[in-house]
Amino acid sequence: MNTTEEVQKELVSCLSGINSDGIGNVDPQKIDRLNIISAAAAANGMSQGKKLIDNLVTVLKAFKEGKSAKESVSVRLTALDFYLQNTKGSTTEEL
C-alpha cells in the first residue's frame, strides 16, 4: 500500500468484511490485516486514520475476550466510516 488512496481502499474492504461477517465473527486474520493497514496509514502520514484503526483493533480484541460491548465496536466502526467518507481526495496534511 504505497499511496493514501490504496490505504483507504484496503481499509474500506476490510471494514466491509467485518460488517458482512458480523462483529461477533471477526477472525484473527482481519485483526492482523487492520494492524498492517494501520502501519501503512502511519507510513502515509494518516495519523488520525492510524489512531482510529488502532482504537478499533483494541476494542475488537477486548470484545473477543468478553471485555468490551458490541456497541463499543460499532462506535469505532462508525467513526472509521465517517473518517473515510470525509477524507476521500484529501491531502496527507488533512489526514
Summarize pLDDT for 3-53 with one digit per residue, the tens.
Answer: 899 999 999 999 999 999 999 899 999 999 999 999 999 999 999 999 999
The DSSP call for residue 85 is H
Model pLDDT, residue 20: 92
Model pLDDT, residue 87: 85
Spatial distance between the Cα atoms of 63 and 2, rounded to a whole number of angstroms: 31
Spatial distance between the Cα atoms of 28 and 93, rounded to a whole number of angstroms: 32
Q: How confident is the model at residue 94 (pLDDT cuts 50, 70, 90)?
A: low
Spatial distance between the Cα atoms of 41 and 50, rounded to a whole number of angstroms: 6
**Domain boundaries, position 38:** 4-94
| Phi, then psi, of 22 in degrees rounded to 5 | 95, 140
- Mean predicted confidence (pLDDT) in 43-68: 95
What's this model's pTM, rounded to 2 decimal places? 0.91
Total domains in the chain come to 1
Q: How confident is the model at residue 58 (pLDDT cuts 50, 70, 90)?
A: very high
The C-alpha cell at 53 is: 484503526
